[in-house]
Structure formats: structure tokens, C-alpha cells
């Protein structure tokens, strides 16, 4: 089956739940096509009617939102000497970070999540943008014990945007990075300062060389209004 046929079949599957279409987005002179949900209010109403929202941070489709931090971190990775290296995006949602980073010379990129719907959106975005030879989409649970054999040779860079708000993931994240980063590899986390978790950085410093910085950006909300945001960038380097 051709990629076009695979994409059409995947979109048909996604559209049994969501009204979606691709939106073009200019990133540094390059156009990305990102799958966008048109019926999110109706979908949320359906979740509420079915009493399916027990924990908003986990049960709401936050993975479908395009977070500004993903663009910021994706572009920032060009400063990490990416040529010929491997990149693993965890908690990828629809895979924006990996799509943005794809132009910077990585040898291979894996975008991952644990939510099946998120993986469908990410795969659709990879196929629509013609990046299937560079980017794989995989289900990866950072809380799973042991080493994931998919990354047996070690990963050069692990990256995640807006994942540290889940306190219960902090210890599993550090273990995952310890197991799967190649020697000298780096894990890079981007978090809106309003959701920052200083304790994670403090604990990580016991096992990794850590560096921190803040970056401000200007973005626009869903209504097109300009917003100024400040992000914490945390880098863990494996000795």
C-alpha cells in the first residue's frame, strides 16, 4: 500500500472520532502540514456526557493541542550538534517537536507517546510531510521497567516538551534517561515557567550533569492574540 493510501486509511479511522484537516504552518521558511481537530468542543462535550474525565491532565486530549514549547524546543535542538545523531521525542502528542527538528540533520528520529490516538495523529503528520524515511512513530512508556530494546544502542538526544507537570513521571523519567541515553547523550526538557518543577532538576542533578536556562518567546493564542511566554530549558547530560 502506498503512503498516500496509508494516509487516507488512517485519516478515515481518525475521522470516526474527530473532524480533522491539515493546516499549513510556516516554520523558518518551511511549510509543515499539521493535523488539526475542528470539533474539539463537541468532543469535550461528549467526554463530559460519558463522564470520561476523571483526571483532566490525563483524560483530556491535551496531545491534540499544538504547544508553543514544542516549536521552541524543536528549533533549539539545532544547537545540539544534531548531524548524524538520533533523537527520541517522548510524550510527543502529535509529534510537532520531531517534525520541526527533522530539518537539522538528525540521522533518525523517533516520536513516541503512550496514547493510541496521539500516535495516529503523529503518524498522519509524518506521512503528510513526507518524513517517513527519517521519522518513526512508536508507543513508548517511560514508566515501563527495564530497557526498551528498540533503543538498545542508546539515544543521542531525548527531548520532551511540557511533560514535567506529571509529578509521578519524575522518577521514571530519570530512570528511563539513565537506561537509554548513549554515553555523553543529553535529555532536554522544555517547560512553561508557570508549570515548572524545580524539584525535578534538583533530583536529576544527583545523577546527571545539569544545565538550566530560560527563553522568552512571543506566540499567539487560538484567537490570534499575541502572548509572551517564558520557558525553562533543562538539559541532563549522561556522564
Q: What is the mean pLDDT of residues 17-24?
A: 92
126, 95 in Cβ contact below 8 A? yes
Task: Report how far residue 173's alpha carbon sits from residue 175's, in angstroms, rounded to the nearest whole number.
Answer: 5
CA distances from 180 to 7, 21, 141 (A): 31, 35, 13
Would you kindly state where each structural domain of the chain is located, as residue ranges? Answer: 63-237
- Work out whether strand 30-37 and strand 20-27 pair parallel, antiparallel, or are unpaired: antiparallel
In the DSSP assignment, the letter for residue 114 is S
Q: What is the pTM of this model?
A: 0.91
162, 192 in Cβ contact below 8 A? yes
Give the pLDDT confidence of 215-227 residue by residue, as tens digits.
988 766 666 677 7
Classify residue 232 by burial, with Cβ atoms within 10 Å: 0-12, 13-18, 19+: buried
* 63-237 CATH fold: Rossmann fold (3.40.50)
- 168: three-class secondary structure by DSSP: helix
- Secondary structure element (H or E) that encloses residue 232, with its range: strand 226-237
Task: Report how far residue 237's alpha carbon sits from residue 151's, in angstroms, rounded to the nearest whole number.
Answer: 17
Average pLDDT in the chain: 90
Give the pLDDT confidence of 55-77 residue by residue, as tens digits.
655 666 777 888 889 999 999 99
100, 70 in Cβ contact below 8 A? yes
Question: Which pLDDT does position 94 carry in this prediction?
Answer: 93
Amino acid at each position: 500500500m502506498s503512503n498516500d493510501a496509508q494516509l487516507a486509511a488512517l485519516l478515515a479511522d481518525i475521522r470516526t472520532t474527530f473532524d480533522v484537516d491539515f493546516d499549513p504552518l510556516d516554520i523558518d521558511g518551511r511549510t509543515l502540514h499539521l493535523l488539526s481537530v475542528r470539533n474539539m468542543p463537541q468532543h469535550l462535550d461528549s467526554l463530559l456526557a460519558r463522564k470520561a474525565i476523571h483526571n483532566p491532565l490525563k483524560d483530556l486530549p491535551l496531545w491534540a493541542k499544538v504547544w508553543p514549547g514544542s516549536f521552541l524546543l524543536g528549533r533549539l535542538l539545532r544547537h545540539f550538534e544534531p548531524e548524524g545523531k538520533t533523537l527520541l521525542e517522548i510524550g510527543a502528542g502529535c509529534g510537532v517537536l520531531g517534525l520541526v527538528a527533522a530539518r537539522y540533520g538528525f540521522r533518525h528520529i523517533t516520536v513516541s507517546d503512550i496514547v493510541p490516538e496521539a500516535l495516529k495523529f503523529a503518524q498522519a503528520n509524518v506521512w503528510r510531510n513526507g518524513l517517513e524515511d527519517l521519522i518513526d512513530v512508536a508507543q513508548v512508556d517511560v514508566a515501563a521497567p527495564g530497557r526498551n530494546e528498540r533503543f538498545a544502542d542508546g539515544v543521542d538526544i531525548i527531548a520532551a516538551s511540557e511533560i514535567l507537570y506529571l509529578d509521578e513521571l519524575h522518577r521514571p523519567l530519570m530512570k528511563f534517561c539513565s537506561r537509554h541515553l548513549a554515553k555523553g547523550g543529553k535529555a532536554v526538557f522544555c517547560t512553561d515557567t508557570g508549570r515548572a518543577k524545580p524539584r525535578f532538576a534538583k533530583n536529576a542533578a544527583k545523577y546527571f550533569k545539569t544545565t538550566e536556562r530560560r527563553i522568552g518567546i512571543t506566540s499567539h493564542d487560538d484567537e490570534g492574540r499575541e502572548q509572551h511566554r517564558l520557558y525553562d530549558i533543562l538539559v541532563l547530560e549522561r556522564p
